């Protein structure tokens, strides 16, 4: 394509080194879609005739069919997806096909193709994250009344509703959904018509192209249009945070399903066995979810390091922006396929959770005792000290809270009364502890149930908006 400037042929080694077909051949549908819109704009603007535009569109549609039927295989000599498609159109229509690239550069062409491709992929991932949120709501409703240990520093801290636990992850992944929506919004402008960097002397109708491709707006600066990869960085940020959240959730479930904890029951269909040890049930799916996270974070760093020293505008380094991006897209697709299914089939052994709390000798109720003393007018630090001494006494005497007599309690905490005794002994003390944590956003069953109701309405609204957006942008060919 640059024979006019060069005398010799490009070295075979250079062709091999500079080709990007291993990266961009997957973009053929979106590249053809952008080219169809460009050809129609050229025809409507009078830059080529309407008949020429129609022939070029027919040629592009024919190339699409050839690729999808496996009849057209890419050639490394043509470097990339763009030149392979254009070359085939020229083979079909000769000089008319050669008019396709009028008024554009591969710089604005790939910027447009990538935005179209990313728009489709991000729409699909937004739907997949929505399914994950629905799975978490499903578990939160199912386990609302189940009391389990809550942990800080991986030490038993306070009893909580398991529904509250699932909703904690709902909140985290909801923020990820907003990050993904923001990345989607960032790419929703059309760079086609920016040319190599400075626009064109031809009377291009960029607004018409944007409408044809269903972008919400046209990019404002031709230089920045071909230089920017911000929307990719926005996606990488979402992907990294999502992967971190998925990894932490996976770690929780791995730990709580061990024989030492044993109150989470993972589905057999999402675990594997051992090639040597017949008794093993390994949480391999969760471990692989955890394992993907380093790669996803690495791909974000890869792009940022590539971008940090590049001058305006386009530099060939940017050809490599797709490698890590595609890897992260594919990795998250895999996680989003298995994680919701795994969660919906995950159960809680309420008796084992209760046994775990009992093994903690009731000390998870220590804060309840301290706060009861506070309500009697004792400064919190004094109450904290007194209850700490009570816990130390039980440890020294190898006792649980429930083993203490009222007289023993009064000796250690003179301000204690019968209500204090009710906090640490009697039926359903753990459930009553959870019920009393009724501050907004707390683990009290009423609070959790209210948040689930709100979240279900929110998820329904997000689903409706997502469906409308799909109808707006998805091509009808």
**Are the C-beta atoms of residues 472 and 214 closer than 8 Å to each other?**
yes
d(CA 152, CA 381): 20
Query: What residues contact 380, with CB distance under 8 A and at least 6 apart?
Result: 370, 374
Question: Positive or negative, the Cα torsion across 149, 152, 155, 157?
Answer: negative
User: Does 153 qualify as catalytic in the annotation?
Assistant: yes
Nearest partner of 348 among 136, 137, 147, 138, judged by Cα: 147
The CA distance from 221 to 244, in Å, is 35
Quick check: 231 and 321 in contact, CB under 8 A?
no
Q: Which among 472, 459, 392 has a CA at the least distance from the CA of 140?
A: 459
Residue 437 Cα distances to 156, 212, 366, 402, 417, angstroms: 17, 55, 14, 21, 21
Radius of gyration of the chain (CA): 31
Catalytic entry in 11, 216, 274, 467: 274
Tell me which of 153, 216, 225, 247 is the catalytic residue: 153
Q: Check if 274 is active-site.
A: yes
What residues are annotated to the active site?
153, 274
């Amino acid at each position: 394509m640059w024979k006019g400037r060069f005398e010799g042929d490009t070295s075979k080694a250079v062709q091999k080194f500079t080709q990007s077909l291993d990266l961009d051949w997957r973009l053929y549908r979106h590249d053809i879609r952008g080219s169809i819109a460009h050809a129609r704009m050229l025809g409507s603007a009078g830059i080529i005739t309407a008949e020429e535009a129609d022939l070029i569109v027919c040629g592009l549609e024919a190339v699409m069919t050839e690729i999808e039927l496996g009849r057209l295989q890419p050639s490394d000599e043509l470097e990339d997806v763009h030149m392979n498609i254009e070359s085939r159109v020229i083979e079909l229509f000769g000089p008319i096909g050669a008019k396709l690239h009028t008024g554009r550069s591969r710089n604005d062409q790939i910027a447009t193709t990538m935005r179209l491709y990313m728009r489709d992929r991000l729409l699909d991932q937004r739907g997949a994250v929505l399914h994950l949120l629905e799975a978490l709501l499903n578990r939160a409703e199912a386990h609302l009344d189940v009391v389990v240990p809550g942990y800080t520093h991986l030490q038993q801290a306070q009893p909580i509703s398991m529904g509250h636990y699932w909703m904690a992850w709902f909140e985290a992944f909801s923020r990820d959904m907003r990050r993904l929506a923001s990345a989607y919004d960032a790419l929703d402008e059309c760079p086609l018509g920016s040319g190599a960097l400075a626009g064109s002397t031809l009377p291009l109708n960029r607004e018409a192209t944007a409408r044809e491709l269903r972008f919400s707006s046209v990019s404002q600066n031709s230089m920045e249009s071909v230089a920017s990869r911000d929307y990719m960085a926005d996606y990488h940020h979402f992907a990294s945070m999502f992967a971190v959240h998925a990894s932490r959730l996976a770690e929780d479930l791995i730990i709580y399903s061990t024989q030492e904890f044993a109150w989470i029951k993972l589905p057999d269909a999402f675990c594997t066995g051992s090639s040597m040890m017949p008794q093993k049930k390994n949480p391999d799916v969760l471990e692989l979810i955890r394992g993907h996270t380093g790669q996803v974070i690495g791909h974000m760093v890869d792009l940022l390091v590539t971008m940090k020293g590049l001058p305006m505008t386009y530099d060939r380094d940017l050809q490599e922006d797709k490698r890590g991006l595609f890897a992260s897209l594919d990795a998250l697709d895999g996680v989003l396929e298995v994680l919701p299914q795994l969660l919906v089939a995950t159960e809680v052994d309420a008796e084992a959770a209760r046994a775990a709390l009992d093994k903690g000798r009731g000390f998870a109720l220590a804060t309840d005792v301290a706060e009861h003393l506070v309500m009697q007018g004792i400064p919190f630090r004094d109450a904290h000290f007194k209850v700490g001494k009570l816990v130390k006494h039980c440890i020294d005497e190898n006792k649980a809270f429930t083993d203490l007599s009222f007289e023993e309690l009064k000796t250690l905490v003179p301000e204690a009364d019968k209500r204090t005794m009710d906090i640490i002994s009697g039926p359903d003390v753990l459930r009553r502890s959870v019920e009393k944590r009724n501050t907004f956003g707390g683990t009290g069953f009423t609070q959790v149930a209210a948040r689930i109701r709100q979240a279900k309405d929110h998820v329904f609204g997000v689903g409706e908006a997502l469906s409308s957006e799909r109808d707006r942008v998805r091509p009808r060919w």
